[in-house]
Structure 1
Amino acid sequence: MTTELKVALIQTSLFWENPQANRDAFYEKIKSIPKDVDLIVLPEMFHSGFTMTPNHMDNTEGHKTLEWMLHIAKQEQKALTGSIPFYDNGVYYNRLFFVEPNGTYHQYDKRHTFTLAGESKVYKQGKQRLVLEYMGFQICPLICYDLRFPVWARNTEDYDVLLYVANWPKTRIYAWDTLLAARAIENMAYCIGVNRIGSDDGGYEYTGHSAVYDALGKNLAFSEEDTILYTTLNKAHLDETRYNLKFLQDRDQFSLKD
């Protein structure tokens, strides 16, 4: 079994409420990614920007983007993840898909909808956390505002990677930097955060700060530019760190109830 996971983080600006333009732009970037990369991470709402008016787009766009992700994953032989506004049974979700090259996919609906921007009035709240296995790594993907809630992210299942996709604005970027490192340290896991850059039609400016931290909070990748960041996660190194520093053995035991 492999002990490494090579990850590409795409940090870029987004076209406002224009799924086709975003899919085309991401495809051009994805084509440049080396063949040995295993997982590509896109930002939150990567086909639209952080919109509170998803009804401005056709309700089928979410399904089109999922089909696009399935096609890209198979063609490039890489897993692909990111969230989009998704219309399902009469309601919208901020839904993350994790798509594997073999056509398998997993989904997670954002638990903590961002009330400050009115997200809770537009998108239905998710109820279930997701932990999935890919290439020998246990991965827990979450979305943006979830980062502020450590109980929801608590490593009760011995996951290896905590992954956040986001549209996190410049005005609160220090919190993003601090909380990503904290989530890595307290959960003794790799923590990946992928943010966007540029500005949106809501008047928000984004400065990126996509980053990767190891289980001790060491920064492994960081950028404020329109770029693709690369990192390699090492399962053997993580296991050794946890063996030498058995902090997770002392974690509190609890269960969440709605």
Structure 2
Amino acid sequence: MKIASISLNPFWQDKKSSFDLCHKYIKQASKKSVDLIIFPEMTLTGFSNNVKLLAEEKDNSSSILKFSKLSKKFKIAIVFGVVIKIKSKIYNQCVFINKEGKILGDYSKIHSFSYAQEDKYFASGKKISIISFNDFKIGLSICYDLRFPELYSALAKKSDIIINIASWPKKRINHWRTLLKARAIENQLYVIGVNRTGIDGNKLKYNESSLFYNALGKKIKSENFSKMKIYTLLKKDILEYENNFNAKKDRKIELYKTII
């Protein structure tokens, strides 16, 4: 399977301009026979608590509709971030659309970033999300979730890959790199982190830091095209490592529940 990560520099709270930019990358990725393209958190707006401006009704989301049309047109699956309103609650979501333009699943961010007051504007998700795609099981997570290994342990029970879409600022980027690597090693699977670049409307800086680690904690080599990186994954690589050194089977889940 070929996966493309896009280190997008979105236009601040400007969905149309940001979508046009995404369109360009999706078209480019399709020419490289990419199966799945992944964009950062709050793809079309940048990370913002301005929910009145950004939120879209779940059943009438223009962003989801537009990405669905592109996935169908270019025969490519798309993962992206969007602010969604369900009834009276607002969620920071990650959406997975397949090559036919259908939603395979979505994930509402469980761990709100209280340091940036995200918890005051967004409701926390209540369930994990694992998607079946191209013979892989893919777990979804968003930015700050990366700091909570318990979530990744839960996802790892049935996942081959865990995706994290993020708006992780430059000043804490060493944590980002270290935690992505740690989550891959401890769970013996692929972990891909797709982070934005540029400067947002709050003057926070983001540098090129999208990364993909294998079960050994080694960076996976990529073909690089400006802000797009393309990776090729083989299911047998994960199975081979698990068969040779499967540490996950030695976890004491029931004991952990009594401690945490």
Name the TM-score, length of structure 2 as normaliser: 0.91
Greater alpha carbon shift after TM alignment, 153-162 vs 210-219: 153-162
Aligned match of 2:170: 170
Q: Does the 8 A contact of 1:208 with 1:223 survive in 2?
A: no
Q: Per the alignment, do residues 77 and 256 of structure 1 end up closer, same or farther by CA in structure 2, a change over 3 Å counting?
A: farther
**2:40 is the counterpart of 1:69:** no
Aligned match of 1:87: 85
Q: CA deviation at 1:157?
A: 2.1
Identity of aligned residues (%): 32
**Counterpart of 1:64 in structure 2: which amino acid?**
S
Aligned match of 1:49: 46
Aligned match of 1:10: 6
Q: Distance in 1 between matches of 2:197 and 2:223?
A: 10
Q: Distance in 2 between matches of 1:206 and 1:188?
A: 28
Q: Does the 8 A contact of 1:207 with 1:224 survive in 2?
A: no
Q: Does the 8 A contact of 2:141 with 2:163 survive in 1?
A: yes
Aligned match of 2:98: 100
Q: Does the 8 A contact of 1:211 with 1:221 survive in 2?
A: no
Partner of residue 28 from structure 1, selected from 24, 29, 32: 24
Aligned match of 1:208: 208
Aligned match of 1:141: 140
Greater alpha carbon shift after TM alignment, 65-74 vs 177-186: 65-74
Q: CA deviation at 1:256?
A: 7.3
Q: Per the alignment, do residues 176 and 221 of structure 1 end up closer, same or farther by CA in structure 2, a change over 3 Å counting?
A: farther
The Cα offsets for residues 55-104 of structure 1, whole Å up to 9 and x where unpaired, read as 13474597000001111111111110021111221221101100012233
Aligned residues: CA RMSD: 2.2
Q: What SS class does the counterpart of residue 191 from structure 2 fall into? A: strand
Q: CA deviation at 1:252?
A: 2.6
1:166-245 equivalent positions in 2, closer than 5 A: 166-221=166-221, 227-245=227-245
Q: Distance in 1 between matches of 2:79 and 2:157?
A: 21
Aligned match of 2:125: 126
Q: Distance in 1 between matches of 2:257 and 2:19?
A: 36
**2:116 is the counterpart of 1:117:** yes
Q: What SS class does the counterpart of residue 233 from structure 2 fall into? A: strand
Q: Per the alignment, do residues 145 and 223 of structure 1 end up closer, same or farther by CA in structure 2, a change over 3 Å counting?
A: farther
Q: Does the 8 A contact of 2:70 with 2:101 survive in 1?
A: no
Structure 1, unaligned stretches of length 5 or more?
none
Aligned match of 1:19: 15
Q: Does the 8 A contact of 2:55 with 2:84 survive in 1?
A: no
Q: Distance in 2 between matches of 1:97 and 1:60?
A: 14
Q: Does the 8 A contact of 1:195 with 1:208 survive in 2?
A: yes
Report the count of equivalent residues: 253
Q: What SS class does the counterpart of residue 183 from structure 1 fall into? A: helix
The Cα offsets for residues 150-181 of structure 1, whole Å up to 9 and x where unpaired, read as 00110552310011000000010000000000
Q: What SS class does the counterpart of residue 159 from structure 2 fall into? A: coil
Q: Distance in 2 between matches of 1:223 and 1:37?
A: 12
**2:35 is the counterpart of 1:38:** yes
Structure 2, unaligned stretches of length 5 or more?
none
**2:247 is the counterpart of 1:247:** yes
Name the TM-score, length of structure 1 as normaliser: 0.92
